[in-house]
Amino acid sequence: MIFEIASSLVMGGVVAGSYYCEKGVGGNDHQKIIKIARNCGLVTKDKKELRLHRRTNKGSYNEYVYQIPLGLSSTEFINKIDHFQDGINIKRNVLDISLADIKKLDWKKDIIKQLRILLEKKRKLRKEVEIQFDGMLIFRIHNESLTTNFPYDDSLFNRLKGWEVPVGITRTGELIKHDFEKVAHLIDGGATDYGKSNWLKSTITTLVQQKPNDVKFTLIDLKGGLSFNRFRGLRQLHSLATNSTDALKALQSVQERMNVVMSQLLDNGFEDVKEAGYKERHFIIIDEAADIADDNACQEIITDIARRGRAAGFRLIYATQYPTSEVVKSQVKRNCVGRLCFVVDSATASRVVLDQDGAESLPLVQGRAIYKTVRCIEIQTPYIKNDFIDRTIEPHINIRPRKESIDTDAKNCATSTKNRKYSLIIEET
């Protein structure tokens, strides 16, 4: 009897201790953060270290907010995220027991048996670390891993407005969206087969569904033309290029159209297409930009689109599986505020896309990426199936897509624009 009571007290203490440790009430994650920072050399010359400002339990994660000592930068900590990730998880054993589990215990029955069942649920907990900076350094220690399964379905359409497309979901279930009306251009990088092209297809599908009468596409697929092949018959498609020669022609056509719009805006005293009331947006999506990285003619036009396209209603998505400084030119990066980076093989590649380390430490999970406009967010991008794409775009497929004449478009736009009425008129010939 005494043994059973003692066992109950001990095992009850283990359960409670595990719970409070997991929730961060009695945990030592703060001490670990300080020690890891110290061992990584993240202290000032006069030995000043991080100073804890606030610790908050957010349910699924614990948040630690620190003041950085003068002389250190947030980037130094963010670039060491893999050290913090591994250090927080060293020999970390906890029990998979929640407060709800404890409340379900029936203390009138065999408590020993019930506690043993709970103890059998013991598992290894792999915590995930997120670091952000908003004037204070914020560590978020997540008790649950980010989902690896985020299927694209019809419900996503109802959560979007305007020129938004879904980028991914966070650990807390928040849907992250990219608004091309606010951030016109985006660089999409990452190793092959980790979700880069799938995200491009989901973006095209979203824009067709949400803005069928206002969107136009120039698709440049330099991986043999297979990724964008199902979009070949879209009525919204201006051109589809599958080699460098056709890519140059397609880009030249885009530049001519852009010049027409720019001339209209200039002649009528408008700053951009939003002020002029133009509804159309033209997306230039390049999949595998490395194949035209050394083509000066193509690169000059791409740079021009990145520089002037926002005002004229042209949106650039520049994707590559080889993110190097030779492929992603500095002129393009300077004008592409939006960044999406899937796993890469080195910190150097991560810095090319994101301007900081991090993507090289992503788990090898398809669809896992880091999205950045102002700050980096780790997300799981939506996975879109081909049959869903086909069903969504089927009403917009022409049996025989016809190529539009640039000369005719330019002539119509130049002659039919009246004061205070500005809408592009495009005829097919």
79 or 426, greater pLDDT: 79
60 or 322, greater pLDDT: 322
Q: Is the pLDDT of residue 426 over 50?
A: no
pLDDT tens by residue, 109-160: 777 777 777 666 545 567 888 888 889 999 999 877 789 999 999 999 999 9
Band of pLDDT at residue 387, cut at 50, 70 and 90: very high
Q: Of the ranges 74-88, 211-225, 246-260, 297-311, which one carries the lowest mean pLDDT score? A: 74-88
Domains of the chain: 2-142 (no CATH), 154-416 (3.40.50.300)
- C-alpha 172/C-alpha 413 separation (Å) is 48
pLDDT tens by residue, 316-357: 999 999 999 999 999 899 999 999 999 999 999 999 999 988
Confidence (pLDDT) at 12:
53
- C-alpha 354/C-alpha 342 separation (Å) is 10
- C-alpha 144/C-alpha 56 separation (Å) is 17
361 or 71, greater pLDDT: 71
* Three-state SS annotation for the chain: CHHHHHHHHHHHHHHHHHHHHHHCCCCCHHHHHHHHHHHCCCCCCCCCCCEEEEEEECCCEEEEEEECCCCCCHHHHHCCHHHHHHHHCCCCEEECCCHHHHHCCCCCCCHHHHHHHHHCCEEECCCEEEEEECCCEEEEEECCCCCCCCECCHHHHHHCCCCEEEEEECCCCCEEEEECCCCCCEEEECCCCCCHHHHHHHHHHHHHHHCCCCEEEEEEECCCCCCCHHHCCECCEEEEECCHHHHHHHHHHHHHHHHHHHHHHHHCCCCCHHHHCCCCEEEEEEECHHHHCCCHHHHHHHHHHHHHHHHHCEEEEEEECCCCCCCCCHHHHHHCCEEEEECCCCHHHHHHHHCCCCHHHCCCCCCEEEEECCCEEEEECCECCHHHHHHHHHHHECCCCCCCCHHHHHHHHHHHCECCECCCCCCCC
Q: Of the ranges 10-14, 105-109, 304-308, which one carries the lowest mean pLDDT score? A: 10-14
Q: What pTM was computed for the model?
A: 0.75
How many CB atoms are closer than 10 A to CB 127?
18
CA 129 to chain centre: 17
Q: Of the ranges 129-143, 245-259, 390-404, which one carries the lowest mean pLDDT score? A: 390-404
